[in-house]
Structure 1
Amino acid sequence: MIKIGLVSVSDRAFNGVYEDEGIPSLITWLTKTLKTPFETLPRIIPDEQPLIEQTLCDLVDKLHCDLILTTGGTGPALRDVTPDATIAIADRILPGFGEQMRQISLHFVPTAILSRQIGAVRNKCLILNLPGRPKSIQETLEGVKDNAGNVIVNGIFASVPYCIELLEGPYIETYEHVVKAFRPHKPVK
């Protein structure tokens, strides 16, 4: 069983101005992707750095999540502080995740260079700052495919199971028609 924190960072969703789409799309995506049983711990919070930091710390330190996926708050706007909060509570940054997320998004929009998405580790938990829109979330996780379904650019989730394994977390299996988990060696079960 993998424990996954899902954090939607949005003033408007938190205040009920509109219904959050990030968490439902993540749950749908995880359900079609993961063979491994999982539990989700969803949170919808405003764009307030101290609250984001506290939420991330609670999900890692008290609830022992193996993976946290955040949506929203990764742009250059003054209220976009999700990466700042993630960096503030992280033990280490994994810059390759942010680089790959921007590379994927550049296939779709030129403004992807404005994104500040990152990947980080706190204790034994991987934290990934994803975009806020459901279509962008799916593209980021799965990558870019041609019309025949062949992968042109790998999505970031191909690396997530191995990363969590390296962090001494649970062994994660995926449905390969969605995302093929990459492991450089045979896993030790």
Structure 2
Amino acid sequence: MKYRVSIITVSDKGSKGEREDLSGKVIAEMLSSLAEVVSYRIVPDEKEIIKMAINEELKKADLILTNGGTGLHPRDVTPDATLEIIDKQIPGIAEAMRLEGLKKTKTAMLSRAVAGIKGQTLIINLPGSPKAVRESLEAIIDVLPHAIDKIKGDPSECGR
């Protein structure tokens, strides 16, 4: 079964057409064997707009991946918007992405990305750069099917 994924790129410049969204393309490429992209959009770094975009995708997607807006800049509000929506956090996903990023650059520890569940949808914040998106997804991609299945109520045992 292929999962349904929505990609939300958070970028002021991208939303105005001033920058091509390469990160969203990386996400779609990396998930092509696992998921069908059912929605793709670019929104500005505005918390209420990000929240609205995530909420609109909840009925369409098993997995919502945001990219961008996870840093320390005053306009980086993606994690803040996500935290206002999710019912439960899954800290291990964000920790795994930061850990993988730290192998390449010390600034990975500055990521404020979060992951969590709203209803039966998994929501994960990815960084903004194509390189960081690729590295972050590589760190978590193998667990995404299991996570989504469990969120949807799969009763099978987790032990191996």
Whether 1:57 aligns to 2:41 is no
TM-score by length of 1: 0.78
> Match of 2:144?
160
Q: Over aligned residue pairs, what C-alpha RMSD do you find?
A: 1.8
Contact 1:119 1:129 in 2 (8 A): yes
> Match of 2:79?
83
Contact 2:121 2:148 in 1 (8 A): yes
Distance 1:59 1:169 in 2: 20
Structure (1 or 2) with the larger CA radius of gyration: 1
Distance 1:185 1:38 in 2: 28
> Structure 1 segments of 4 or more deviating over 3 A?
183-186
Distance 1:185 1:42 in 2: 35
> Match of 1:107?
103
Alpha-carbon displacement from aligned partner over 1:25-46 (angstroms, at most 9, x marks no partner): 1111112x42xx6233101000
Contact 1:66 1:169 in 2 (8 A): no
* 1:65-80 mapped onto 2 (5 Å cutoff): 65-80=61-76
What is the Cα deviation at residue 166 of structure 1?
A: 0.5
SS at match of 1:101: helix
What is the Cα deviation at residue 160 of structure 1?
A: 1.1
> Match of 2:91?
95
> Which residue identity is paired with 1:42?
Y
Structure 1: 5+ residue stretches without partners: 143-154, 171-182
Contact 2:38 2:60 in 1 (8 A): no
Whether 1:128 aligns to 2:129 is no
Alpha-carbon displacement from aligned partner over 1:130-182 (angstroms, at most 9, x marks no partner): 0111121111111xxxxxxxxxxxx1122111110111179xxxxxxxxxxxx
TM-score by length of 2: 0.91
Count of matched residue positions in the alignment of Structure 1 and Structure 2? 157
Q: Once the two structures are aligned, what percentage of the paired residues are identical?
A: 38
SS at match of 1:89: coil
